[in-house]
């Protein structure tokens, strides 16, 4: 992969899409993870001061905010912090969340609160919201419907995780972020690979080559099939009116 050429293509695409929509910049979540760091680097190259990263702790690992701040300092990114702890507590109380509520249902409140926050600031700034979902996550449905998928554009959507990592190295993402275990940060100790039951290398190989052992193929095919509704717009019936 020619990383330099890919960066140029993505920066040009971002500018064309955003300015074509009559907007002047972008807003995105800065999680401290690999994908958001790559998005940050691309956004700054494309829009400079009109790129805004938002750090949104929600009972998160403090290291995530530290890595997000490091990323912002590395790229000279404008950033604000919006603490969502109280908002999360209020929503849980309003919805009568209990200890018996399935953990994943509760955890998915967090990315939906973050998306509400991003869209609010985007509207204030006449900006669009960039998402950090990559191809590996898109294929398996490893994102929250109406959460981290509720964005205006996904610049790294064509790239599998290993390609995002290559791009990160080229862009100068801090090594500590490149090396950390991928995690959505939904609960303490949660990792992407632990949840999926396969490694990103296995997943990426299957996506790129169509080849995998039977167990990996079965897991990926099942994840893809069960998450198909996430990748489609809300269906409408065809009526004879």
The CATH number linked to 38 is 3.40.50.620
Could you give the percent of the chain with pLDDT greater than 90? 91
What pLDDT was estimated at residue 128?
A: 98
Contacts of residue 182, defined as CB under 8 A and 6 or more positions apart, other chains included, come to 33, 34, 161, 191, 192, 193, 200
Mean pLDDT of 169-184: 90
Decide which of 188 and 71 is more confident. Answer: 71
Note the pTM of the prediction, 2 decimals: 0.94
- The closest of 221, 230, 227 to 202, measured between CA atoms, is 221
* DSSP for 63-122, written as a single string: HHHHHHHHHHHHHT-EEEE---HHHHHHHHHHTT--TTS-HHHHHTHHHHHHHHHHHHHH
Residue 84 within a domain: yes
Could you give the percent of the chain with pLDDT greater than 70? 97
Decide which of 183 and 206 is more confident. Answer: 206
Residue 130 within a domain: yes
Residue 241 within a domain: no
What pLDDT was estimated at residue 162?
A: 96
Residue 237 within a domain: no
- Distance CA(28)–CA(32), nearest Å, equals 12
Residue 13 within a domain: yes
What pLDDT was estimated at residue 194?
A: 72
Q: Domain residues for 62?
A: 3-231
Residue 158 within a domain: yes
**Mapping DSSP to helix (H, G, I), strand (E, B) and coil, where does residue 20 land?**
helix
pLDDT at 191 exceeding the cut of 80: no
Number of domains in the chain: 1
pLDDT at 186 exceeding the cut of 80: no
**Mapping DSSP to helix (H, G, I), strand (E, B) and coil, where does residue 167 land?**
helix
Confidence of residue 196 (pLDDT cuts 50, 70, 90): confident
What pLDDT was estimated at residue 189?
A: 67
Q: Taking a C-beta distance cutoff of 8 angstroms, is the pair 27, 49 a contact?
A: no
Residue 129 within a domain: yes
pLDDT in tens, 76-108: 999 999 999 999 999 999 999 999 999 999 999
What pLDDT was estimated at residue 197?
A: 82
* Adjacent-strand bridge partners of 130: 153
Pairing label, strands 51-55, 78-81: parallel
Phi (first) and psi of residue 157, to 5 degrees: -60, -30
Residue 183 within a domain: yes
pLDDT at 187 exceeding the cut of 90: no
């Amino acid at each position: 992969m020619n990383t330099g050429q890919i960066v140029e293509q993505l920066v040009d695409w971002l500018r064309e899409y955003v300015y074509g929509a009559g907007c002047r910049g972008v807003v995105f979540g800065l999680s401290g993870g690999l994908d958001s760091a790559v998005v940050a680097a691309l956004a700054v190259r494309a829009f400079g001061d009109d790129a805004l990263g938002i750090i949104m702790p929600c009972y998160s690992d403090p290291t995530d905010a530290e890595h997000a701040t490091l990323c912002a300092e590395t790229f000279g990114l404008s950033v604000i912090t919006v603490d969502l702890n109280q908002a999360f507590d209020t929503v849980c109380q309003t919805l009568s969340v209990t200890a018996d509520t399935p953990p994943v249902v509760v955890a998915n409140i967090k990315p939906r609160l973050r998306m509400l926050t991003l869209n609010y600031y985007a509207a204030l700034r006449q900006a669009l919201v960039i998402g950090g979902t990559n191809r590996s996550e898109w294929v398996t449905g490893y994102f929250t419907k109406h959460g981290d998928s509720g964005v205006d554009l996904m610049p790294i959507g064509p790239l599998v995780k290993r390609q995002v990592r290559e791009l990160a190295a080229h862009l100068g993402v801090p090594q500590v972020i490149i090396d950390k275990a991928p995690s959505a940060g939904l609960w303490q100790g949660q990792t992407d690979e632990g949840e999926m039951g396969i490694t990103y290398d296995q997943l990426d190989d299957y996506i790129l080559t169509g080849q995998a052992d039977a167990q990996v193929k079965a897991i990926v095919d099942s994840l893809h099939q069960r998450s198909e509704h996430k990748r489609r717009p809300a269906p409408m019936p065809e009526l004879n009116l």
